[in-house]
Amino acid sequence: MEMLAVPAFVLDSHAQVLIWNRACERLTGVPASEIVGTDHHWRSFYDEPRPTLADLVIQNRLDEIRHIYPRHGKPQAGSATPLSVETWCDMPRAGKRRYLAADASPIFDDSGRLKAVVETLRDLTEEKMARLALEKLATRDGLTGLANRRCFDDTLAAEWQRAQRQCQPISLLMVDVDNFKAYNDANGHLGGDECLKRIATAVASEMRANDLVARYGGEEFAVILPNQSLKGAAIVAERIRSRVERLRLPNGLAPLRQVTVSIGAATAIAGPDNSASELVAIADAALYRAKHLGRNRISLPSAEG
């Protein structure tokens, strides 16, 4: 056990550390001399008291594994409880947060009583970070850093279902940059890209924690406002319009001589008689109306005024 290349430690039936191998010392930055004979092993992994997987096995708290560790493995043969988990660890002594995979194996004596638990660890930080980067690429717009169209579609579908279950309203804003072609022609594609990034930041700054703003396509953005009334959506839309106007990005070829946005708003009570795609269509129609009425304004569905 001491010479294993894999970090490992062993707890007795009272959760006292029996073995803390050299690989575990290297991973945690904590020497065995400080840990063996104590129950302070959690301090090597977390800033605050928290059971390790081995602790849960010893304390027979196996039903808590799936709650403490959202990512857990499949049950071992003959066991109804997963004994493999993955989690972020603070690693206070090592000085850097790590994503670790842990496996716990109980050891029983001849009478079937628990004698000890061996926990082995694998550092999956690099793999985890690579996976997160790929996930971000799949859901984020490369230019603005906002959610992309795919993420918008998935989120809208999920929020629609949630709104239907909870009988809550869901609002949508469609935001379009006015006279963007003229701006692009005058400032070039790099200037146009910078303009879109500035506007994306302005729109995102008006969001609540559970709202989503996405680059819908080209110079158009979409905002999902869960549990928001039409009146509330109109207030958010006006804040966005005003904030973009205050950027004072010059656009000499536009009627107002600066960059502005038009916004269409729509709200629905999700139910079996309507759909998320209908909400998008209504918000799109409101956006078209805002453009038709002169731009740099918000528009609500015609039936709502």
Using an 8 Å Cβ cutoff, are 185 and 177 in contact?
Answer: no
Q: Would you give the distance in Å from CA 238 to the centre of its chain? A: 27
- Token pair 């970070």 in the structure block, residue: 129
Distance CA 199, CA 201 (A): 5
Long-range contacts of 154-163 (CB under 8 A, 24+ apart): 155/212, 155/214, 155/224, 156/224, 156/276, 156/279, 156/280, 157/276, 159/212, 159/224, 159/226, 160/270, 160/275, 160/276, 160/279, 161/270, 162/226, 163/226, 163/227, 163/269, 163/270
Among candidate residues 206, 219, 245, 304, the one labeled active-site is 219
Distance CA 207, CA 186 (A): 31
Residue 4 dihedral angles phi and psi, to the nearest 5°: -60, 140
User: Is 220 in the active site?
Assistant: no
Using an 8 Å Cβ cutoff, are 247 and 198 in contact?
Answer: yes
**74: three-class secondary structure by DSSP:** coil
Active site positions, annotated: 219
